[in-house]
Structure 1
Amino acid sequence: MTSFPNVYENYLPEHVQPPSNRNTQEEYPPPYPSAGGDYPPPYSSVGAGQYPPYPYPSTASAQYQPYYIPAQGPTHPPTQITQRNVPHQKPARSCSPQRKTYCCVISLFLTLSALGIGAYVILRFVKDSPTGSSSSHCQAVVTRCNGISECADNSDELGCVRFSGTSSQLEVYGWQDKRWLPVCYTAWSPSLADKTCKQLGYRSSYQTQGTTGQPSSSLVVNTTKQITNIQSVLSNSLQCTTKETVSLKCIDCGKRIKTSGRIVGGVPALLGKWPWQVSLHYKSRHVCGGTIISEDWVVTAGHCFFEDEAFDPSKWKVYSGFISQRQLSGATLRYVSKITSHRSYSSDTNDYDIALMKLQKPLEFTAQVRPACLPTYNQEFPHGMACWITGFGRTKEGATSTSDILLEATVNIIGSGTCNRRRIYNGAVTQRMICAGKLSGGVDSCQGDSGGPLVCEVSGTWYLAGVTSWGHGCARINRPGVYAQVTQLSNWMFSQMEANSN
Structure 2
Amino acid sequence: MQRTDTTYDNVSHVNHGFQHEEQRPLPYAPPSGVNPALPQYPSPQNPQYPYQISHPPHSLDRYSPAQNLHQYTPQTAPVNTHHTVAHGLYLDANPVHKAAPRRKKWPIIVGILTTLLVVGGAIAVVLWFYGVFDCNLGRRCQTDNKCVGLSQWCNGVQDCSSGEDESNCFRLFGSNFVLQKFSNERKNWENVCSNEWNDNLGRQACEKIGYDRNTYVGFDEINISGCPSNKGVALKCIECGLNNMRRIVGGSTVTSKGTWPWQVSLQISRNHVCGGSIITPYWIVTAAHCVDELSNAGAWTVYAGFLTRTEMRSATGNSVSRIVKHSNFEPRTNENDIALMKLTHPLTMTSNVRPVCLPNEGMYFDAPRECYITGWGTLSSGGSAPDTLQEAKINLISRTTCNNRPVYNGRITETMICAGKLQGGVDSCQGDSGGPLVVRENSLWWLVGDTSWGDGCAFRNKPGVYGNVTYFRDWIYEQMRKY
How high is the TM-score relative to the length of structure 1? Answer: 0.69
Give distance in 1, aligned partners of 2:146 and 2:331: 33
Task: Give the corresponding residue for 1:50.
Answer: none
Distance 1:177 1:8, change over 3 A: farther
Alignment of structure 1 residues 89-238 onto 2, 5 Å = 117=130, 120=133, 126=139, 135-141=142-148, 143=150, 144-199=153-208, 200-202=210-212, 203-214=214-225
**One-letter amino acid matched to 2:236:** K
Task: Give the corresponding residue for 1:429.
Answer: 412
Larger-Rg structure: 2
Alignment of structure 1 residues 418-497 onto 2, 5 Å = 418-497=401-480
- Displacement after TM superposition at 1:292 (Å): 0.6
**One-letter amino acid matched to 2:216:** S
Alignment of structure 1 residues 273-352 onto 2, 5 Å = 273-307=259-293, 310-328=294-312, 331=315, 333-352=317-336
Count of residue pairs brought into register by the alignment? 374
Q: Which runs of 5+ in 2 are unaligned?
A: 7-12, 25-121
Give distance in 2, aligned partners of 1:322 and 1:337: 21
Give distance in 1, aligned partners of 2:127 and 2:18: 46
Asked if 2 retains the 8 angstrom alpha-carbon contact of 1:142 and 1:156, the reply is no
Alignment root-mean-square deviation, CA: 2.8
Give distance in 2, aligned partners of 1:7 and 1:328: 30
Q: Does 1:9 align with 2:49?
A: no
**One-letter amino acid matched to 1:207:** G
Asked if 1 retains the 8 angstrom alpha-carbon contact of 2:148 and 2:160, the reply is no
Q: Deviations over 1:264-292 (max 9, x none)?
A: 22544532211110001134321110001
Distance 1:141 1:466, change over 3 A: same
Give distance in 2, aligned partners of 1:154 and 1:498: 10
Asked if 1 retains the 8 angstrom alpha-carbon contact of 2:135 and 2:147, the reply is no
Asked if 1 retains the 8 angstrom alpha-carbon contact of 2:250 and 2:394, the reply is no
- Displacement after TM superposition at 1:159 (Å): 2.3
Task: Give the corresponding residue for 1:406.
Answer: 389
Task: Give the corresponding residue for 1:499.
Answer: 482
- Displacement after TM superposition at 1:366 (Å): 1.4
Give distance in 2, aligned partners of 1:122 and 1:421: 46
**One-letter amino acid matched to 2:356:** A
Distance 1:359 1:176, change over 3 A: same
Q: Deviations over 1:345-365 (max 9, x none)?
A: 222332221111111111111
Q: Deviations over 1:44-75 (max 9, x none)?
A: xxxxxxxxxxxxxxxxxxxxxxxxxxxxxxxx
Q: Deviations over 1:388-445 (max 9, x none)?
A: 100111111122x533221111110111121122221222222222211000011111
Percent identical across equivalent pairs? 39
Q: Deviations over 1:286-307 (max 9, x none)?
A: 1110001111111111111122
Alignment of structure 1 residues 240-279 onto 2, 5 Å = 240-259=227-246, 261-265=247-251, 267-279=253-265
Distance 1:269 1:161, change over 3 A: farther
Q: Which runs of 5+ in 1 are unaligned?
A: 18-108, 128-133, 215-238
Distance 1:387 1:8, change over 3 A: farther
Task: Give the corresponding residue for 1:377.
Answer: 361
Give distance in 1, aligned partners of 2:196 and 2:316: 41
Q: What SS class does the counterpart of residue 291 from structure 1 fall into?
A: strand
Asked if 2 retains the 8 angstrom alpha-carbon contact of 1:174 and 1:180, the reply is yes
Give distance in 1, aligned partners of 2:277 and 2:369: 20
